């Protein structure tokens, strides 16, 4: 089995790419996302001060612990369609 699987970049038309960029930015600026980002930065700085090595790790707000970026995506393997319902 091939070990170097990577996700290909989405092939979008310039119009679709601009619309996606606008949507993604609007979502990133919501109060919830701003709160999560600030909380992540606070926890990360505190953990690094205590000596934790956090390269490649993100704070998982649902589980309350640091996880790899890979493990912190897609609702723990269940996908995101039904997340939050």
State the pLDDT at residue 49: 95
Check: CB of residue 67 under 8 Å from CB of residue 57.
Answer: yes
pLDDT digits (tens, 9 = 90+) for 16-36: 999 999 999 999 999 999 998
Q: Residue 59: exposed, middle, or buried by beta-carbon count in 10 A (0-12, 13-18, 19+)?
A: buried
pTM summary value = 0.63
Instruction: Check whether 13 has a pLDDT greater than 90.
Output: yes
Give me 47's structure tokens. Answer: 């953990």
Domain ranges of the chain: 17-77
The tokens describing 67, both together, are 């996880």
pLDDT tens string 48-74: 999 989 998 988 888 889 988 888 887
46 vs 2, which has greater pLDDT? 46
């Amino acid at each position: 089995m091939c070990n170097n699987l990577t996700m290909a970049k989405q092939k979008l038309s310039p119009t679709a790419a601009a619309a996606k960029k606008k949507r993604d930015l609007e979502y990133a600026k919501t109060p919830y996302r701003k709160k999560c980002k600030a909380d992540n930065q606070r926890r990360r700085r505190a953990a690094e001060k205590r000596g934790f090595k956090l390269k490649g790790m993100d704070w998982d707000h649902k589980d309350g612990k640091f996880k790899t970026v890979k493990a912190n995506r897609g609702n723990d393997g269940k996908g995101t369609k039904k997340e939050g319902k």
